[in-house]
């Protein structure tokens, strides 16, 4: 078995307070550059401090309104660049990395939102996933942000800045856990392995119930979509079911239940509709939606969000075998609806459909939220750094986009046009797996058929769920996209 890191990996420890003193402190500074642009490189100044730059005036790279939520302040990227550069310094230093403290001085004026973004960048930008028995490069372990005693700005005080650091740490940890799960190699990451990791991630939290449903249970209950997709693999499919209930820790539910459904395809060959060889290695990250749901669930339960939250992750390998499902098959899903299979590489919606129907029936939530690296069409429409939001309620889509923008994840609401409904209906079954028309839209409309009337919010992260290169706090391959948005959205 491959020597993967322990999951979750340790993340950078970040503190805030008065200036620290010591012999192994590495002094750094964040400085504000005039305008909306700032130098991209971390530089060593004349005083011996490493300097990362942020723009004095934020930009609007993607905007749905004139709201402040869509402003990009550059602090996440600055934190990531700083921690990576100092990591190289620490790796070449004779003193062991664990003895170093990186001390970060801030500009004269900064807000809690700036500090939260900086902390996300420091934690997520320092994350890596390397499978090796060799010595790994040393990394920054401790960062201390200097907050002058009694500092106030624009009505904010010390408590606001401490809260911002704690929020940033929770959000950063969620992204890192999602990345750990997504980047694990496919020979390790079976559906059962993913289920065990999900259980380990939450087993120490009060108020959480875990149910790991095996293939026998899925067959008894009629989860035909999950079983069809997983039928070609020697490693059977599973359904991961996590429930956080504040009433279990003697707290009130102040909001209605939310069901989060994350795609958990642990490796995707495309099945009989096989994918090209080029790029297939990245299909180990085809469960990034499920990974982000697990990570967000843990963060929400840790912070004891005052609503019941259910996480459902249908996990399966889409492999090629004599038992694989085929184009032309008709599959009966949980709840009785049938799908005409037209492309076995559209496996994500098959497993999501079962879980959506199950979650809607059992928990009767206010909304079902699906998160998946689902369609290449979403990537073509919005590129590699923006997620697609599909919702019958335009306001809900914009609200989610706002929440995501606040924590550095960009989204764009997309339509589900009524004239396409007839394309979703099959002539030989209830629904057609890959309807004609705009692929990302018709995939969302396919899933909507399984919600039993519960409002659907569908998040297609096929573009931003994977990265080909490093930018801001993002590193290749699995990005953890979506985890921070879910936490920010359901906490506020």
- Write the CA distances from 368 to 50, 352, 408, 450, 463, integer angstroms: 46, 11, 23, 10, 22
The one catalytic residue among 275, 361, 385, 452: 275
Please state whether 380 falls in left (phi above 0), alpha (psi between -120 and 50) or beta: alpha
pLDDT at 97 over 70: no
Give the pairing of strands 208-213 and 238-244: antiparallel
DSSP code for 27: E
Q: How far is CA 154 from the centre of its chain?
A: 32
**What pLDDT digit, counting tens, does each position of 98-143 carry?**
688 999 999 999 999 999 999 999 999 999 999 999 988 889 999 9
- The reported pLDDT for the residue numbered 371 is 98
What's the number of CA atoms in the CB half-sphere (13 Å) around residue 229? 36
- Return the structure tokens found at 406: 């606040």
Give the separation between CA 408 and CA 343, rounded to whole angstroms.
34
Active site residue 141: no
DSSP secondary structure letter of residue 62: S
Whether 33 and 39 have beta carbons less than 8 Å apart is answered as yes
Characterize 58-96 residue by residue with b for buried, 16 or more Cβ atoms within 10 angstroms of its Cβ, and e for exposed.
Answer: beeeeebeeeebbbbbbbbbbbbbbbbbbbebbeeeeee
Closest CA to 292 of 470, 459, 446: 459
Distance (Å, whole) CA 177 – CA 165: 18
Domains along the sequence of the chain with CATH: 13-178 (3.40.220.10), 184-491 (3.40.630.10)
Determine the average pLDDT of the residues in 473-487: 97
Residue 275 is among the residues annotated as catalytic for this protein:
yes
- Beta bridge partners of residue 309, listed in sequence order: 244, 258
3-state DSSP of 75-118: HHHHHHHHHHHHHHHHHCCCCCHHHCEEEEECCCCCCHHHHHHH
Mean pLDDT value across residues 255-270: 98
| pLDDT band, residue 308 (cuts 50/70/90) | very high
Question: Is there a contact between 102 and 140 (Cβ–Cβ < 8 Å)?
Answer: yes
Query: Which of 141, 263, 298, 349 is an active site residue?
Result: 349
Average pLDDT over residues 25-47: 91
**Quick one: which H or E segment has residue 28?**
strand 25-33
List, for residues 405-447, the tens digit of each pLDDT value. 999 999 999 999 999 999 999 999 999 999 999 999 999 999 9
Give dist(CA 10, CA 8) in Å, integer.
7
Percentage of the chain lying above the pLDDT 70 cut = 99
d(CA 297, CA 192): 19
Which is higher by pLDDT, 290 or 492?
290
Beta partners for 458? 370, 390
Contact 379, 388 (CB under 8 A): no
- Assign 17 a pLDDT band (cuts: 50, 70, 90): very high
């Amino acid at each position: 078995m491959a020597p993967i890191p322990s999951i979750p990996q340790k993340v950078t420890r970040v503190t805030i307070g008065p200036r620290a003193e010591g012999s192994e402190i590495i002094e750094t500074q964040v400085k504000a550059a005039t305008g909306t642009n700032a130098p991209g490189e971390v530089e060593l100044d004349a005083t011996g401090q490493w300097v990362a730059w942020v723009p004095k005036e934020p930009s609007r790279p993607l905007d749905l309104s004139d709201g402040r939520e869509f402003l990009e302040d550059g602090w996440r990227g600055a934190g990531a660049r700083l921690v990576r550069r100092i990591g190289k310094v620490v790796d070449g230093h004779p003193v062991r990395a664990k003895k170093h403290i990186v001390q970060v001085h801030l500009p004269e004026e900064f807000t809690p939102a700036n500090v939260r973004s900086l902390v996300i960048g420091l934690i997520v930008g320092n994350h890596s996933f390397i499978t090796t028995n060799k010595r790994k490069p040393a990394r920054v372990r401790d960062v201390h942000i200097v907050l002058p005693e009694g500092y106030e700005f624009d009505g904010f005080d010390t408590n606001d800045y401490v809260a911002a650091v704690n929020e940033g740490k929770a959000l950063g940890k969620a992204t890192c856990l999602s990345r750990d799960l997504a980047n694990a190699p496919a020979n390790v990451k079976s559906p059962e392995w993913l289920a065990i990791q999900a259980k380990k991630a939450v087993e120490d939290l009060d108020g959480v119930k875990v149910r790991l449903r095996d293939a026998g249970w899925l067959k008894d209950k009629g989860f035909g979509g999950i079983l069809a997709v997983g039928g070609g693999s020697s490693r059977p499919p599973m359904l991961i079911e996590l429930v956080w209930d504040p009433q279990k820790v003697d707290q009130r539910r102040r909001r209605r239940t939310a069901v989060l459904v994350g795609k958990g395809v642990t490796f995707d060959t495309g099945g009989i509709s096989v994918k090209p060889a080029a790029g297939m290695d990245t299909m180990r990250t085809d469960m990034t939606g499920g990974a982000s749901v697990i990570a967000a669930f843990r963060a929400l339960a840790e912070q004891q969000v005052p609503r019941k939250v259910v996480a459902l992750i249908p996990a399966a390998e889409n492999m090629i075998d004599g038992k694989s499902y085929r184009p032309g098959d008709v599959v009966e899903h949980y709840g009785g609806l049938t799908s005409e299979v037209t492309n076995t590489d559209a496996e994500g919606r098959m497993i999501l459909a079962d879980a959506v129907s199950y979650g809607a029936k059992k928990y009767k939530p206010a909304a079902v939220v699906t998160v998946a690296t689902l369609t290449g069409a979403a990537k073509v429409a919005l590129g590699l750094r923006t997620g697609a939001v599909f919702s019958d309620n335009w306001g809900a889509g914009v609200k989610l986009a706002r929440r995501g923008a606040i924590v550095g994840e960009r989204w764009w609401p997309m339509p589900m046009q009524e004239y396409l409904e007839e394309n979703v209906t099959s002539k030989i079954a209830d629904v057609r797996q890959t309807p004609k028309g705009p692929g990302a839209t018709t995939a969302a409309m396919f899933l909507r058929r399984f919600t039993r009337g519960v409002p659907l919010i569908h998040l297609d992260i096929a573009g931003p769920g994977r990265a080909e290169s490093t930018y801001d706090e993002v590193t290749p391959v699995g990005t953890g996209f979506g985890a921070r948005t879910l936490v920010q959205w359901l906490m506020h």
